[in-house]
Amino acid sequence: MGFTVVSRSGSPTRRENQKRRVCFRLLLRLLRRGFVVLSAESDPKMPNYSIRGINVEFPFEAYQSQIIYMDRVIESLQNKCHALLESPTGTGKTLCLLCATLAWRKSLGSFSTRKDRKNSAIPWSDSDEPLSQSGGGGGAFPTIVYASRTHSQLRQVIKELKRSSYRPKMVVLGSREQLCVNEEVNSLRGKALTNACQYLCKKRGKRQCNHFNRLPDYLKHNPHIGDEPVDIEDLVNIGKDSGPCPYYITRELHKDVDIIFAPYNYLISNGYRKFLKVNWTNSVLIFDEAHNLESLCADSASFDLPSVLLSACISEAQECVQLAAARRDSLNDVSINPENFAILKGLLLKLQELISKVPIPKRDEGFTKPGPYIYEMLKTLNITHETAPKLIGTVEEAAVFLEEEKQRTATNAGSKLEIIADMLKLIFRENGSNHADVYRVHVQELEQNSTDVMKGKVSRTLSWWCFSPGITMLDIAQKGVGSIILTSGTLSPMDSLAQELKLDFPIRLENPHVISSNQLWAGVVSTGPSGYVLNSSYRNRDVPEYKQELGNAIVNFSRVVPEGLLIFFPSYYLMDSCITFWKNGCYRNSMTVWERICKLKKPVIEPKDSSLFPAAMRDFSEKLQDRATSGVVFFAVCRGKVSEGLDFADGAGRAVVITGLPYARVTDPRVKLKREFLDEQSQLADVKLPRSTLLSGSMWYSQEAARAVNQAIGRVIRHRHDYGAIIFCDDRFEQPSQQSKISLWIRPNVKCYSRYGEVISDLARFFRTERSNFPARLVTEQENNIGNASCSQKITLIGRYHILVCLPYYLPSCFFPCDNLWVAFGCRGMI
């Protein structure tokens, strides 16, 4: 081991020398125990940047790409226009977004302070009742709503907020399932939990929620809540320690904060959005990780009603009839009329019969009609805009009645009738019929089990699919929103995204990465070791020779790629098919392909069942930390959980292999209808627009696959000091049309190989060079922090110095500051 001393100023003082001796003694003690020490000096005075007249405080010396990103954010906010901002994962875009947005907001006036709560009305009713649309954002200043797909992603955003100098009044919104601390009911789920919460908060009888009752007093004596960043876990701990209800803390706090953190559904779902007490005028909406936003918007405006679910709803309606009749007879309770439930049951039976009689000449194609046909179907059942509100009320009454009975009998199963209510609300929402033309009604006949065949039942699904996600975004924009900012590592191509969302995005950015070009290896491997073409298309994917060739290629990649290797397949079917083939087939009468892979790296397979995914990630982490192995290979699927938002920094992901293009199944009815819809729209579009700029069905189909590939690619190169390889194992990536869809920061580095031997030699040379160069680099605090979430860290404070102790497997270099001195250690033997 060697070290280099880099002096940053004049001669050290006596006190500084004493500090150095203390630090070096601690350093040597840690190194003897097999740790690598990585430290960064915490400068109390953050760098300041003047961007478009706004003073932005940033925790680190910003890269040029970060300054450009913040410039585009501020331009969007100042001009009250929308923006599409793409910046590769690992470039610090979340921190840039927060600092730029909050600096702009601070320039308008001071952040909010907690209002006097003596006269504050606590929301005694359930959160499902609409709140006033006044207020929010502390009055005259615009409210910022920061949305991401999941709470785990929001947790990372709030960590970034803690690292900034900005302290706006904030709140993070969550569901009762995440926030309830009442042990009497928090084991319930869905509507069952909502109804139980409502019941206990009404202050009727002996059963009450003490956590809810403590809320007014807590808020009165803790006006500072939200002044410092708090996450879901922090709120839950407050509820457990101090007693107030975390859920209603957020319901009360969100009325007068500067920034709200929430999952997507609080914005894209009309049902959630209308309950937010936010002044939407001039507000700022930020959608982080927005690469799937259009599909999420379409899904939130669509529904599927399978016959098995409809049958369950009929059974629940019948159960309500019996329970209401029994209660009326035994308790003389006439508050609930069983006849209403009998009418509901009759309507659901007629709907079931109507669906079963729909003519389906070809089962593969199903039955399709224009969107407005849904109103014709329901009109035959006397369900119209005039009668729907009363029917929805009956359905909700039945669901609540059933949940109360299940709670009384300690049954936790949720009511299926809620889905019927949600379906009717979607169809008959305000101005809903105005958008019916962008929908399609579809009835699909499904595979029947033997029991259904014997009973003569037909298994069908009624669907109402939205094919224009822009109706959701237009609905939001029409509330007077100032700016909508969409950001992700993979937004391109932006023209088609803007067309899908029906908004004008005058500000756009495709940012480069912060790494140097020599830190990335990217190549197209068109043939395997024996020269057989690698192509996972439908006609070739089940050919034994292809599977054998792909397996042999992965064996060789496992040999030359150090540490973590990620393999992405187009589908679960292809992944399972290949792994099964590799386990069963022998190679030259010796070991199977699977045995050869396992000899080189420990395997982990992404489960299709999402409930098993945490266990798979723990398995991956444990195998990665096992020094007795030479690494791990993670078999995963494009669009799966591994490809979405997970951090495989440094040794956790040294290379990613893309085994093919993840096209959606072309025979899928929804995919087929989406392509037809876009083709129809492009034919009807304004003739003034160039035909080449319009999004056709085939363009959308290929772009969806490309976005999935780019998202999977983003698992490697997670920070400035990282390095890795991207291997495209499909000859279709040689085509210029496919390469043009690869993320801009990767495109110039892609090299096409005609011979497999050159691939292996170049890869081996790349990793050999990077492994020798990596420890010698002196990194900044920002480089150490960006994207380094996968490291197992222990933090100790010594004066102003933050010492991060990390397993040497993750970080093969260490840096130790002593006031105005840096000491850099390169641990070559530990890689």
pLDDT in tens, 378-387: 999 999 999 9
Within 8 A by CB and 6+ apart from 775, the residues are 812, 813, 825, 826, 827, 828, 831
Assigned token pair, 563: 């540490």
Question: Cα–Cα distance between 27 and 818 in angstroms, integer?
Answer: 12
The single-letter code of the amino acid at 311 is: S
Bigger pLDDT: 572 vs 191: 572
Residue 273 pLDDT = 82
Three-class SS state of 18: helix
Closest by CA to 497, choosing from 336, 700, 702, is 700
Question: Cα–Cα distance between 506 and 179 in angstroms, integer?
Answer: 39
| In the predicted structure, residue 12 carries a pLDDT above the cut 60 | no
Point out which residues pair with 51 in neighbouring strands. 54
The CA distances from residue 116 to 245, 256, 270, 274, 558, in Å, are: 20, 12, 32, 26, 63
Question: Cα–Cα distance between 178 and 320 in angstroms, integer?
Answer: 30
| In the predicted structure, residue 96 carries a pLDDT above the cut 60 | yes
Residue 89 pLDDT = 82
Question: Cα–Cα distance between 50 and 48 in angstroms, integer?
Answer: 7
Lowest mean per-residue pLDDT among 21-30, 103-112, 460-469:
21-30
Assigned token pair, 476: 């939001």
The per-residue pLDDT for range 718-763, each reduced to its tens digit, is 888 889 999 999 999 999 999 999 998 999 999 999 899 999 999 9
Question: Cα–Cα distance between 632 and 533 in angstroms, integer?
Answer: 26
Three-class SS state of 386: coil
Assigned token pair, 129: 């009742």
CB 381 within 8 A of CB 424: no
Question: Cα–Cα distance between 519 and 508 in angstroms, integer?
Answer: 27
DSSP 521-557: EEEEE-B-TTS-B---STTTTT-HHHHHHHHHHHHHH
The per-residue pLDDT for range 144-197, each reduced to its tens digit, is 999 998 888 899 999 999 999 999 999 999 888 888 888 877 777 777 777 778
The mean pLDDT value for 372-377 works out to: 95
Residue pointed to by tokens 């009717």: 424
Q: Both ends of the chain: CA-CA distance in Å?
A: 12
What pLDDT band is residue 451 in, cutting at 50, 70 and 90? low
| In the predicted structure, residue 122 carries a pLDDT above the cut 60 | no
DSSP 41-107: E--SS--EEEETTEEEE-SSPPPHHHHHHHHHHHHHHHHT--EEEE--TTS-HHHHHHHHHHHHHHH
The mean pLDDT value for 536-557 works out to: 94
| In the predicted structure, residue 204 carries a pLDDT above the cut 80 | no
The CA distances from residue 15 to 11, 18, 207, 455, in Å, are: 12, 5, 64, 89
| In the predicted structure, residue 367 carries a pLDDT above the cut 70 | yes
| In the predicted structure, residue 552 carries a pLDDT above the cut 90 | yes
What pLDDT band is residue 585 in, cutting at 50, 70 and 90? confident
Dihedral sign for Cα atoms in the order 327, 329, 334, 339: positive
Q: How many CB atoms lie within 10 A of CB 146?
A: 24
- Mean per-residue pLDDT over the chain, rounded: 81
Closest by CA to 43, choosing from 61, 25, 55, is 61
Assigned token pair, 749: 């580095």
Assigned token pair, 401: 């009645």
Question: Cα–Cα distance between 531 and 533 in angstroms, integer?
Answer: 6
Please state the three-class secondary structure of 458-497 as a single string: CCEEEEEEECCCHHHHHHHHCCCCCEEEEEECCCCCHHHH
Residue 275 pLDDT = 76
In our burial notation (b when 16+ CB lie closer than 10 A, e otherwise), range 540-570 reads: ebeeeebbbbbbbbbbbbbbbbbbbbbbbbb
Three-class SS state of 286: strand
Cα 16 to chain centroid distance, Å, stands at: 47
Question: Cα–Cα distance between 420 and 785 in angstroms, integer?
Answer: 48
DSSP 222-260: -TTTTSS---HHHHHHHHHHH---HHHHHHHHGGG-SEE
Name the DSSP letter for residue 89.
T
Question: Cα–Cα distance between 17 and 12 in angstroms, integer?
Answer: 6
Question: Cα–Cα distance between 202 and 200 in angstroms, integer?
Answer: 6
Q: How many CA atoms lie within 13 A of 182 on its CB side?
A: 25
Three-class SS state of 9: coil
Residue 86 pLDDT = 94
Q: In what order do the strands lie in the sheet with 750-753?
A: 602-605, 631-637, 563-569, 655-658, 724-728, 520-525, 750-753
Residue pointed to by tokens 């089940």: 542
Residue 601 pLDDT = 95
What pLDDT band is residue 410 in, cutting at 50, 70 and 90? low
| In the predicted structure, residue 810 carries a pLDDT above the cut 60 | no
Question: Cα–Cα distance between 34 and 52 in angstroms, integer?
Answer: 49
Q: How many CB atoms lie within 10 A of CB 703?
A: 17
Dihedral sign for Cα atoms in the order 772, 773, 774, 779: positive
Closest by CA to 89, choosing from 716, 764, 771, is 716
Q: What are phi and psi of 41, to 5 degrees?
A: -75, 135
The mean pLDDT value for 21-49 works out to: 57
Assigned token pair, 736: 């210029």
Residue 13 pLDDT = 57
Question: Cα–Cα distance between 543 and 549 in angstroms, integer?
Answer: 10
Residue pointed to by tokens 């509820």: 239
| In the predicted structure, residue 457 carries a pLDDT above the cut 50 | yes
| In the predicted structure, residue 312 carries a pLDDT above the cut 90 | yes
Lowest mean per-residue pLDDT among 242-251, 282-291, 458-467, 518-527:
242-251
What pLDDT band is residue 362 in, cutting at 50, 70 and 90? confident
Closest by CA to 445, choosing from 365, 378, 377, is 365
The single-letter code of the amino acid at 735 is: Q
The per-residue pLDDT for range 604-620, each reduced to its tens digit, is 999 999 889 999 999 99
| In the predicted structure, residue 492 carries a pLDDT above the cut 70 | yes
Residue 793 pLDDT = 31
Three-class SS state of 795: strand
Dihedral sign for Cα atoms in the order 420, 424, 429, 431: positive
Lowest mean per-residue pLDDT among 80-89, 450-459, 670-679:
450-459
Bigger pLDDT: 825 vs 785: 785
Cα 359 to chain centroid distance, Å, stands at: 39
Residue 764 pLDDT = 94
| In the predicted structure, residue 802 carries a pLDDT above the cut 80 | no
| In the predicted structure, residue 408 carries a pLDDT above the cut 90 | no
| In the predicted structure, residue 304 carries a pLDDT above the cut 50 | yes
H/E element holding 565?
strand 563-569
Question: Cα–Cα distance between 38 and 825 in angstroms, integer?
Answer: 9
Residue 28 pLDDT = 58
| In the predicted structure, residue 39 carries a pLDDT above the cut 80 | no
Is the bond preceding 812 in cis, omega lying within 30 degrees of 0? Answer: no
